[in-house]
Amino acid sequence: MCTIFKSHKLWDMVENGYEQPVKKEEGEALTAAQKLALEENVAKDAKALGLIQELAKEAWEILQQEFRGDKKVRSMKLQALRREFEYTRMHDDESLSGYVTKLLELVNQMKAYGEELTKQRIVQKLLISLSSEYDSIAEVIEETNTTTKKDKDDGNSPSCIRFSNRRGIDRHLFGCQTTTLNHRRC
């Protein structure tokens, strides 16, 4: 960058800046030479700032291309994430909190690539992909069909899912204490 500024004869301006002309008395006007020097310095300063902004924009575009890729690459990455989302299942030896964390990380990656997933779709995916150990909980939620979501923070992640059975007993699927049997206790 130093070379660019030197080629435009701006390096001294960037490195040292410029000093404002000093008036000897409060009401005194600047001399013609001082006005000309001030105008040149302001122009050089603006030119240097413009070069900095241009270089920053070019650097940003390079970084954006490198890390996000073009539309075709993003589309392929999103398709791979969709496939992983569809085929993700909870393993028998996996904890519920570990599985939920893994699923939400996948959802966040998909959202970063522009996918729009509703909370209902995420909850649905969670319920159908739980291990057989949690089948009874999933059946109760599906049968009652009174699923409501209690949002946390910005509302983008289903941090706590409440469900009520027909007797009016509220239970929490997430955010509950873990017992020694690795089940959730509400």
Residue 164, pLDDT score: 39
User: Edge-to-edge strands of the sheet including 170-172?
Assistant: 148-150, 160-164, 170-172
Global confidence as pTM: 0.46
In Å, how far are 68, 117, 138 from 178, measured between CA atoms? Answer: 39, 28, 18
> Which residues, 6 or more positions from 186, have their beta carbon under 8 angstroms from its beta carbon?
170, 171, 172, 176, 177
Burial of residue 65, with CB atoms counted within 10 A of its CB: 0-12 exposed, 13-18 middle, 19 or more buried? exposed
Residue 47, pLDDT score: 87
Token couple for 68: 């996000």
What parts of the chain have a pLDDT lower than 50? 147-155, 157-186
Token couple for 63: 């970084």
